[in-house]
A and B are shown apart, each in its own frame.
Chain A
């Protein structure tokens, strides 16, 4: 039993290394793309949206950047993990290894990128003076929820995508909407109070608010928001694990 788990993690790490090694091979800037991407996004959104904001968000470029980092981790993981089982059909047909390795290695490799970018982000934030060590638990909690939600949702979506290839297109479409439904470019304080219940269904709300609170002192998520978001996270993760466990037995029949 113990060796089985050891082998699971060895294989998971091996596949993650493959993802990491293969991604920036033959690129000139390599790892730099990691931060260049969100910086470019931050600059253009920051430039345009400051014209529309009625009440400006404090440290807006920093606010944008952390939101984009989290969002890029989430959306990239989902877009790559959803079709992953179908893409790796040759592996499925070759050997009987734990299938969850395929989507989880994608998420793990993205997570490593995300954490490196996060460390780089902390450096300028230190000079802002909004950081304090007491906020560290919030960051860890936010990362934990983010991993849970991304992992559970990815397992669910990639398992469903094996039978219903529509799921991949659905994810691509929904991610565009989801971006605007998440407080990345705006703050919930700018939204009408009567509509706030809408964000309770989007777990990324609390996750982002925790990050924004911990790094920049933006308003933290309220207890009702946090509770309902965590409920959604737990449901999605449990559903993902259950569906994946059930479906993974017959992946070979469908790819």
Chain B
């Protein structure tokens, strides 16, 4: 009898946990607790000998004890001077690198628009590269089959799609990369500085896509120096300074930040 009661109690506890979890998933997109990131400074190419002779390397803390909860649908602008840890923070959220200490929890698919052309092979055709790149971003082959026409149409590559990538202009390759990334249907979209891709007409299209991302209640995180972009598109601002989260709040903080910068 006692055993049975115990298991029932356990069941309730479990189901409560599961409920709690699903609740969390609905609301929270990203949770960072106590994130710190230490880099080792290498002045030259690291070699075995150097490692043994010097023993310890110089270190540098890019992020210190960042605690952050981002809810689903929030559009967060991360601002701060160069070297304040913006990119490191984005890399940790994307999972490209691992923090030295602390915990990262992300709910949903994270896609970053860094290095759009990375992963393209110059000798393979546009279509082959779409498959490869899409899979690297976490798409299944079946999903890419489905998306292929739309990816090609959006990138506006037309007859070149069967040609090897080295024949593409740099604008075409960028457009293709961008098209794959936005079609990968991310729940959390990460934008790092300098995402003004392509010519004017393509930028117009991008604006539309971005607007649709913003409207779809997707979580967007932008790291940039363009304060007006943050002001126009975000509803939350995080100010980083030397790896520490200085301020976290509404966009009205941008004014304060500007003030700080100039004083």
Interface residues of A (CB under 8 A from B): 3, 6-7, 10-11, 14-15, 17-18, 21-22, 25-26, 90-97, 163-166, 249-254
Contact = CB atoms under 8 A, between A and B. Distances in A.
Given A14-B132, A94-B115, A96-B95, 13 more contacts: A3-B140, A10-B135, A11-B135, A14-B141, A15-B132, A18-B132, A91-B118, A91-B136, A93-B114, A95-B111, A165-B47, A166-B49, A249-B97
Interface residues of B, number: 34
A6 B111 CA distance: 19
Interface string B56-78: 00000000000000000000000
A3 B138 CA distance: 11
Nearest to B37: A253
Interface of B: 39-40, 45-49, 51, 91, 94-98, 110-112, 114-115, 117-119, 121, 123-124, 128, 131-132, 135-138, 140-141
Contacts of A94: 96, 112, 114-115, 118-119, 136
A131 B244 CA distance: 70
A165 B42 CA distance: 13
B97 A21 contact: no
A113 B237 CA distance: 54
Nearest to B139: A7
Contacts of A90: 115, 117-119
B132 A10 contact: no
Contact of A253 (B39, B114, B131, B136): B39
Contact of A163 (B46, B110, B115, B121): B46
A61 B121 CA distance: 39
Contact of B97 (A6, A163, A165, A252): A252
A85 B7 CA distance: 49
Given A94-B115, A94-B119, A22 B96 contact: no
Contacts of A6: 140
Contacts of B45: 165
Looking at A22, A250, A253, which has the most chain B CB atoms within 10 Å of its CB? A253
B119 A91 contact: yes
